[in-house]
Amino acid sequence: MARISEKIGLTFDDVLLLPAHSQVLPRDVDVSTIITPDIKLNIPIVSSAMDTVTLSRLAIALARQGGIGVIHKNMSPEVQAGEVDKVKRSESGMIVDPITLPPDRTIGDALAVMAKFSISGIPITQEGKAGRHSD
């Protein structure tokens, strides 16, 4: 028969930290955590996978600070994949592997690509050397 654990369980309201002088310096503190064998977070913050909370914008902001955002599932698989792609392509404020256009395309083409991928700008390059072309 299973036994009931008699360990003490505490919630946020059960604990009070009193401000006081400490010999521990902030630079000596490590609050990192390992959530899988391949994923270490520098700060122990994981966003909720709720449609009113986490999309690519929050996931990117958390990743830049050392946390992780969990994209919610209340959308089509294609839209969800698009949100994940935005997070994966954003690294330290830089877009890795940006979508580009060649110089012979029109401004209308650029606006259409920007609308399709929900981006605010698009590099014009020779032979797509900065990243990948939209076609």
pLDDT tens digits for range 58-100:
999 999 999 999 999 999 999 999 999 888 878 666 777 788 9
* Percent share of the chain, pLDDT over 90: 50
- DSSP symbol at 14: G
d(CA 65, CA 50) in angstroms, rounded, equals 20
- The residue among 66, 126, 111, 117 whose CA lies nearest residue 95 is 117
Domain extent listing, the chain: 31-96, 97-135
pLDDT (tens digit, 9 = 90+) per residue, 96-123? 778 899 999 999 999 999 998 878 889 9
pLDDT of residue 76: 95
User: CA-CA distance, 3 to 134, in Å (whole number)?
Assistant: 60
More confident residue, 106 or 11: 106
Q: Is the pLDDT of residue 28 over 90?
A: yes
CA distance readout (Å), 42 to 30, 46, 53: 8, 11, 21
